[in-house]
Amino acid sequence: MIGIRGIVLLFLILSISIFSQPLRIALDEDYAPFSFYDENGNLVGISVDFWKLFSEKTGVEVELVPVKWYRSQELLTEKKIDAIDQIFKTPEREKVLSFSRPIFEMRSCVFFRKDLPIKDFSDLSSYVVGALRGEGSVKTLLEKNPDVEFEFFDDYSSIVKALKEKKISVFLGDDIATRYYLSKGNLLPEFRTLHLETNYLHVAVLKGNESVLSLINSGLSRISEGEKNDIIRNYVPLVLVTPPWFLRVVFYGTAAFVISFGIALTFIYSLRRKVEERTLQLKEANEELKAQNEEIEDLYQEVSASQEELEKLYGEIRELDERFRESVRRMAKLVFIKDKSRFSFEVGQIVKYLLNVKNLKVILDDRAPEKVEGTVFEISHSNEKHGYIVLEGDLSEDEKGVLESLLTIVSAIYTYRKLISRERKLYRDIVKTWVKALEYYDYYTKGHSEEAAYYAVEIGRMFDLGDEKLEKLYWAGLLHDIGKIYVPQVVLNKTSKLDEREFELIKIHPVRGYELVKEIEGFEDVAIWIRHHHERWDGKGYPDGLKGEEIPFEARVLCVADSYQAMRSDRPYKRGKSVEESIQELRRNAGRQFDPVIVEKFIEFLEGGGDLGTGHQG
């Protein structure tokens, strides 16, 4: 049989042969940074580079037609172009146009100066908000705060000019275009944002021209998100979003650095005082030489010896300064070390390097040390013992003070790491408690969520999802049926076929699960995947009847993982299917219930021995 990839390749070959003429794409001639003319009169921008990449990926020649935006739909109707780029999907446009899959995400945001006390949309009532004339997001912002007062501008250049002249300090705009103009005006670091809504840029063709749309969609699927981000980075600096926990790490790391720096300054100052005292002695000796000519030779030898001692002392200070700087850099890395033995090793290396000692032992254990040879220094914080260091040899009082201060910092870092670990464990335990509560409520889900989560993560790995996305996919697998707590137990545990009314009750659980999980900070996307994990590829699923790639990718993964686990499980009214029977069931429903590409990958995984061999009875 011809595989899915073979069919796609054959389709592209046929499409290229049909389009012996260039594919004519209209785009706005003045829509920076997507398409605009540079100072040399060349058409440049994100969209220009994107279509060059499209042509390279597909072999289809693309002719870009820059036009005044208001003429684009007229040219499409007259068939002078094949498609329109850089267009938002609206109900009015969908009456006459067909839209491709999304190309670029456009986040509408409120931008404001960092020094303004703005935390949410309710704080905007005190400011005049700049906006482009005809900006569609104005209506959305008014829904969130009807008291907002606007000042409208003809283009982004006018907004930037008003910002530089301090006429406005708050404005509304699309993030990519806005960051481009703020970057050009050297204003980008001065602003923060409130996210208002998210839209997407598409390519549109006339309704009925499905061959062109299919060709475009097929080409778009060959361009990765990473490649699109690389193109955007050529014109617009990407925004780095810093998670709240990282700010805490930076705070405590900075505090540790300040304390360390203070200790070092104190130590260096002490050495400097010694140098100054010794220098004063030398000056007094020099004066004495002038008065005692008969002792010139002896005093000269004393001065020479003192100068050598002074140079040695300065050398020691320079060496200490270098060791201190390197030790601070190493301590900053301790925050991110998870392995306990690795943490102990690095602490030992820092102490050895800073104090220039050779034999020491670091033990992270809150029990009292057994009989040991050497000097014991305790690692503790707020009366909580974390371990100790055993040193062979003697230290000066200054060196002991430095070591004790260093161990105070190390202990604070270790305590903070433990707090972070406990916080994450508590977070995980709460979610698992939800799942256990559901299992007690619905006997037939017992163990189902864990296995579905396992399969979902394995599928995600096959599609090279990042660690953060895989972790969220795991949580989505655990929580995908949490909405069933709103379904009566008599319906959930019924052993015979459900009637129509009972099935309608069952169908509410994705929506109820979405409503529960979306309230968890950082789980907004997990909630969306849970809402859509019963959608079908052919559009006959629930609750929203989404079809094909309208369904979020992660929700499609959950659908396959959830369904496979259910196939393999025994129920009172049916025997669980074998691996081979389940694979056949997946193949029969690929392209109908399931995403065929995900099914193909998952079957490879199962045929390679990936099945859990479940004994699950629910």
Pairing of strands 43-44, 36-37: antiparallel
Residue 363 phi/psi, 5° resolution?
Answer: -125, 115
Split at pLDDT 50, 70, 90, the class of 16 is very low
User: Which CATH number does the domain housing residue 147 bear?
Assistant: 3.40.190.10
> Is 171 in the same domain as 130?
yes
Q: Are residues 128 and 169 in the same domain?
A: yes
Strands (E), 170-249: 170-174, 191-206
Are both 396 and 475 inside the same structural domain? no
In a domain, 67, yes or no: yes
The percent of residues in the chain predicted with pLDDT above 70, rounded, is: 80
Quick: pLDDT tens for 439-483.
666 666 667 888 999 999 999 999 999 999 999 999 999 999 888
**Which of 9-23, 59-73, 454-468 bottoms out in mean pLDDT, i.e. has the lowest?**
9-23
The first and second tokens of residue 62, run together, are: 């693309």
List the beta bridge partners of residue 201.
Answer: 88, 104
Q: Please provide the average confidence, as pLDDT, over all residues in the chain.
A: 82
Q: Which residue has the higher pLDDT, 308 or 127?
A: 127
Same domain flag for 364 and 476: no
Q: What is the pLDDT of residue 296?
A: 59
Clarify whether residues 448 and 398 are in a common domain.
no
Same-domain pairing of 14 and 142: yes
CB contact at 8 A, 462 and 510: no
Indicate if the pLDDT at residue 342 is higher than 90: no
Question: Is residue 462 included in any domain, yes or no?
Answer: yes
- Give the pLDDT of residue 473: 95
Q: Which of 364, 157, 335 is nearest to 247 (CA)?
A: 335
Q: Residues with Cβ < 8 Å from 50, sequence gap 6 or more?
A: 103, 223, 228, 231
Average pLDDT (191-197) is 93
Whether residue 316 is contained in a domain is answered as: no
pLDDT at 617: 39
Exposed, middle or buried by CB within 10 Å (0-12, 13-18, 19+), for 17? exposed
**Counting Cβ atoms within 10 Å, is residue 533 exposed (0-12), middle (13-18) or buried (19+)?**
buried
Residue 324 domain-assigned (yes or no): no
The answer as to whether 260 is a domain residue is no
Residues 463 and 591 in one domain: yes
Domain with residue 370: its CATH number is: 3.30.450.40
Q: Tell me the pLDDT band of 84, cut-offs 50, 70 and 90.
A: very high
Task: Identify the residue with better confidence: 218 or 243.
Answer: 218
Residue 2: pLDDT over 50? no
Q: Which of 52-61, 240-249, 267-276, 356-365 has the highest mean pLDDT?
A: 52-61
pLDDT tens digit string along 156-173? 889 999 999 999 999 999
In a domain, 448, yes or no: yes
End residue of a domain, out of 205, 235, 265: 235
Cα gap 359→392, rounded to integer Å: 6
CA distance 618 to 246: 41
Most confident of 292-306, 352-366, 442-456, 540-554: 540-554
Q: State residue 13's pLDDT score.
A: 46
Instruction: State which of 361, 392, 422 marks the end of a domain.
Output: 422
Looking at 422, 451, 467, which one is the last position of a domain? 422
2-19: average pLDDT: 48
Same domain, yes or no, for 446 and 418?
Answer: no
Identify whether the C-beta of residue 444 lies closer than 8 Å to the C-beta of residue 571.
Answer: yes
93/112 Cα distance (integer angstroms): 32
pLDDT band for 391, please (50, 70, 90 cuts).
confident
SS3 label, residue 170: strand
What is the percent of the chain with per-residue pLDDT over 90, rounded to a whole number? 44
What is the number of structural domains in the chain? 3
Domain co-membership, 368 together with 481: no
Inside any domain, residue 244:
no
Q: Are 536 and 550 in contact (CB under 8 A)?
A: no
Say if residue 254's pLDDT is above 80: no
Q: How confident is the model at residue 304 (pLDDT cuts 50, 70, 90)?
A: low
* 392 lies in the same domain as 494: no
Say if 272 falls within a structural domain: no
pLDDT for 29 equals: 87
Mark whether 385 and 453 lie in a shared domain.
no
Do 400 and 467 fall into the same domain? no
Domain that holds residue 349: 336-422
